[in-house]
Structure 1
Amino acid sequence: MTEGRYDYVIVGAGSAGCVVAARLSADPAVSVLLLEAGSTDNSPDLTVPVKAPSFLGSAYDWDFRSEPEPGLGGRVMTLNHGRVLGGSSSINSMVYLRGAAADYDEWAAAGATGWSYAEVLPYFRRCEDNDRGADDFHGAGGPLAVSDGRSRHPLSAAFLEAAQQAGYPLNEDMNGATQEGVGFTQVTQRDGRRWSTATGYLRPNRGRPNLTVLTDSPVSDLLFEGSRAVGVRVDRDGGPTDYRADAEIVVCAGAYGSPQMLMLAGIGPATHLTALGVPVRADLPVGLNLQDHLRSGLCYESTLPSLQRSLTDEALALYEAEGRGPISSNVGETAGFIRSSPAVAEPNWHVNGVPAMIGGMIGIAGDGVSVIGWPSKPTSCGYLELRDTDPSTPPRIVHNYLMTGYDRRTTCDGMRRMREITEQPAFKAVSTGRLLLGPEGYDDPSILRFVRQTGVTTHHPCGTCAIGEVVDPELRVYGIEGLRVADASVLPSVTRSNTNAPTIMVGEKAADLLLAARATAPAAVVSA
């Protein structure tokens, strides 16, 4: 059944999809359909920052599993990924970090024209409503609330003091002139409440007559006329429904979902698709170049109440009255970009202080004070491929963590830098010295054995539909008309940071690219 025709069909209402939908539908002459496989974001719990760990494994989570990871002794990794309006921006740790300027300049130097730091900075600024106000690096008045955290736990402050005692400078804006140093992170919150892309971009615009948002609507197939993508098939209300896109389809299903969708439509490695009986439309390296950050941590018994023990009735009353205190905590309140070794020219280790025992997506597992970290620019790459041709079957995912000598070297050196921070007076003042989680020793074999046993994803997958490999610098899929990808999967390499802010930036830039194409396209292509 064909339900309707729109100028643009956007698949996935996540961190980028909500942005694209809001920006395109600002023109009342443009009709936009936004499809989300998950549910609405109406639950009040989704706005409470400290409840984020409770969403892992819930109905709001795709809850993927990796294949046995060869670099981790064959362990299977749980891979959380948002399945709700706002996507992972509705369930993540709300950290607002963009990465280093070098990330984007490296992309541009490798052929991603238009993606240098100077060229993407305006999109970061445009999205922001930063409570610090506008300056050369930040914006005010945008849809995305960016704020200083309203929980500065004493254990987090102790970590920052210890890091400075270890020789790392305080940096009050790691999205500013320089990334190096340690500090409290800004978060995607307003008045102590989570501010997802669904909150900032969709909610104010749901009343637009030219914007249709459908939840619980997984896309099962892309529809084609020759080499042009013209629509999508959705499993909705117990049967298939087709929606046509007269201008373009934008796939924003994430670093796991977008490559799966493309491969099911015949866009991917020809050998793999042929083996599954999928007719090949375009032989492209879809699903390859999968990158992520692997985090490991040290946890000590604390002498002060940890975040878990701070969640009292008094804390709840403070939160309800003023939107501040421990319940507004994003758990990972601090961050730092440091060098794993004096021989390293630039920061290559991302470190966080956590006022709790770590677990899950920086979840609260118990009392303690933790220091966690990961190589900020890992060189290991994995892949994603289809198990079968059923769209409801989760893909096969292998990240290949720790499979390069560089990643192993950086991990060993970085773990030793974290240990040095825990040996500083400020950290010892809040710790009994009893190690709750850590390696038996700090020689390379002991560290690697520990990391292989305990390391987990930092939930920063990207690169599976990379610019220059699967899509061109304007995010158009090579060899296919009317189809773009706009999400973390297009990042040519993982940023030296969390990836949510870069993904929102991708959505902003994608919207401009689409609008520019519309302005120059023949009228018959852009009208229903």
Structure 2
Amino acid sequence: MQQLIDRTYDFIVCGAGTSGCVVAARLADQPGARVLLIEAGSAYTGPEVTDPAQWPANLGSERDWGFEAQPNPALNGRRMALNMGKGLGGGSSINVMVWARGHRTDWDHFAEESGDPGWGYESVLGYYRRIENWQGRPDPLRRGPNGPVHVAQPHAPQPLALATLEAANQLGIPRFDSPNGEMMEGPGGVAIADLRIKEGKRDSVYDAYIVPRLHNPNLHILTQALVARVLFKGRTAIGVEVVVEGQQQRFYVTGEVILSMGAVNTPKVLMQSGIGPEAELRAHGIPLLNVLPGVGQNHQDHVAFGCTWAYSQPQPVGGGGCEATLYWKSDARLDAPDLLHCQLEFAVPSPPEVGIAPPAQGWTMFAGLARPVSRGQLRLSGAGVLDRMLIEPNTLSAPEDMAAALASVELCRELGNHRAFAGVVSGEVVPGPRDRQGMERFLRNSAVSFWHQCGTAKMGRDDMAVVDRALRVYGVSGLRVVDASVMPRITVGNTMAACVVIGERGADLVVGGEASL
């Protein structure tokens, strides 16, 4: 069993994923602050993690929580796979490495919901300037050149990615130098993707924030430790109970406990610590500490539908396979893009319910929903640390999402069948022409997660809010949530970059103020 000499710390950060690594690193920079970072997964850094092209090998491995949704009537009874990173770096150690910062309206919505302009877009631009080590064309207003997070575009994008830009542009979608500058302030566009690949290797958030501080004597890391619950004295958090190699250990804080375990495990620990919906806790015999009906509610995730074309001849794969990305509106009246397309330079098999085998050589565009309306919930299956969460995303349950999904796939097919791909592809394989009823059936059978679960301990001021503007859990002291759970609404695009911002701002708020940006 792992043993730590110290049992008391100034801060305990639960979860070494994207946000957790950031907040732990920034707290460890505080003079004299003793920080314990607890992670349920391992410290594995083998080729499946470091080699960008091997990210699919992590799915279903010990580095994946392997969550699965409950059967969903809106998906013809299917159970959707909900992969999530487990290990140092969390999702940033197994994902596709796309850096997408969210739309201007996302952050302004955060500010409105929280009542704090510090969450607004202008403030968040300051965080991004602090965070990024941007390798592309200078943009002093929006990009930072000296931060810890290496962000770069592929030096020589593959022909498929360039054809995507050309086809989209000819369809009237503007092309931008990057998806993370001006493009995310308007109706969207198409661009070569910004990636977290450095010198040909994955550069996880753990690599960027924790590795440079491993020599710090005040930062302690405990891996393969499951957080069971937060310990309280009255309504003040005083520590955590964890399970290591089947044995319980307790660690205590003089400052704060910070939950950064993601949109599934953060609400689980809150509920199993006595914080959550009253009926849910009573049903499992958990003593009530504070009734917060929003814990586990407001579940959101980006949903995608794989559209696949066969190559006319084999094509190379660049980096992690995603080199082009597109955001656009299904309705010009919307205030932000609601369609998200992420291109993969290899053919991804559809769920078996689709009934179409992938081509031996081909590529897949994940046509997705950037602003889904459907909302889900999480429920407990028991009061124990090993009892799994029951995840009900309710994907495609809102009629608006089906309408947007139809528009997303229609745009995707128009794009992929464009003459710009002549000589690269031989033809469309999935979904193929269908009538309206057949296309709706395809969407319900093919829907998959983008692996961006969030929102289950949301920040806000209404009755369903779980944390306030400073990410403090309502009704108790000494406890904050700093991860994707706090998002009132899912951000447009992949969520890793937004989680780094949440970690940076969360650390600023913990140490007592708005740091100079």
Q: Same fold by TM (over 0.5)?
A: yes
Note the 1:36-55 alignment, pairs <5 A. Answer: 36-55=39-58
Note the 1:284-303 alignment, pairs <5 A. Answer: 284=292, 285-303=294-312
Give the equivalent residue in structure 2 for 1:14.
Answer: 17
Give the equivalent residue in structure 1 for 2:130.
Answer: 126
Cα distance in structure 2, aligned partners of 1:366 and 1:515: 54
Cα distance in structure 2, aligned partners of 1:484 and 1:472: 9
State, as a whole percentage, how many aligned pairs show the same letter: 36
Shift of 1:457: 0.3
Cα distance in structure 1, aligned partners of 2:349 and 2:500: 26
Cα distance in structure 1, aligned partners of 2:450 and 2:13: 27
Shift of 1:370: 2.4
Give the equivalent residue in structure 2 for 1:386.
Answer: 380
Q: Deviations 1:35-65 (Å, cap 9, x if unpaired)?
A: 0000003324311101000000011111111
SS of 2:9 mapped into structure 1: strand
Q: 1:149 to 1:484 in 2, by over 3 A?
A: same
Give the equivalent residue in structure 2 for 1:420.
Answer: 414
- Determine which of 460, 474, 478 is the counterpart of 1:478: 474
Give the equivalent residue in structure 2 for 1:317.
Answer: none
SS of 1:358 mapped into structure 2: coil
Cα distance in structure 1, aligned partners of 2:97 and 2:240: 31
- Determine which of 171, 176, 198 is the counterpart of 2:181: 176
The letter of the residue matching 1:358 is V
- 2:124 is aligned with 1:139: no
Give the equivalent residue in structure 1 for 2:354.
Answer: none
Structure 1 contact 349–375 (Cα < 8 Å) conserved: yes
The letter of the residue matching 2:173 is Y
Q: Provide the TM-score with structure 1 as the length reference.
A: 0.90
Shift of 1:517: 6.4
Shift of 1:74: 1.1
Instruction: Give unpaired runs (5+ residues) of structure 2.
Output: 352-357
Q: 1:498 to 1:276 in 2, by over 3 A?
A: same
Cα distance in structure 2, aligned partners of 1:279 and 1:517: 34
Q: Provide the TM-score with structure 2 as the length reference.
A: 0.92
Misfit runs of 4+, over 4 Å: 341-346
Shift of 1:164: 1.4
Q: Deviations 1:393-418 (Å, cap 9, x if unpaired)?
A: 22000111111121111111221111
Structure 1 contact 341–413 (Cα < 8 Å) conserved: no
Q: 1:264 to 1:380 in 2, by over 3 A?
A: same
Structure 2 contact 359–429 (Cα < 8 Å) conserved: no
Q: 1:365 to 1:5 in 2, by over 3 A?
A: farther
Instruction: Give unpaired runs (5+ residues) of structure 1.
Output: 311-325, 520-528
SS of 1:241 mapped into structure 2: strand
Shift of 1:216: 0.9
SS of 2:298 mapped into structure 1: strand
- Determine which of 445, 459, 477 is the counterpart of 1:453: 445
Q: 1:452 to 1:231 in 2, by over 3 A?
A: same
Question: Over aligned residue pairs, what C-alpha RMSD do you find?
Answer: 2.0
Structure 1 contact 61–83 (Cα < 8 Å) conserved: yes
Aligned residues: 496
Cα distance in structure 2, aligned partners of 1:150 and 1:412: 34
Q: 1:162 to 1:258 in 2, by over 3 A?
A: same
Note the 1:232-247 alignment, pairs <5 A. Answer: 232-247=240-255
Structure 1 contact 3–241 (Cα < 8 Å) conserved: no
Structure 2 contact 307–367 (Cα < 8 Å) conserved: no
Between 1:140-149 and 1:79-88, the stretch displaced more is 140-149
Structure 1 contact 334–353 (Cα < 8 Å) conserved: yes
Cα distance in structure 2, aligned partners of 1:200 and 1:10: 17
Note the 1:214-229 alignment, pairs <5 A. Answer: 214-229=222-237
The letter of the residue matching 2:454 is C
Cα distance in structure 1, aligned partners of 2:261 and 2:29: 22
Give the equivalent residue in structure 1 for 2:274.
Answer: 266
Shift of 1:372: 2.1
Cα distance in structure 2, aligned partners of 1:448 and 1:97: 29
Q: Deviations 1:423-472 (Å, cap 9, x if unpaired)?
A: 32112432212x3221551x432221101111100011100000010000
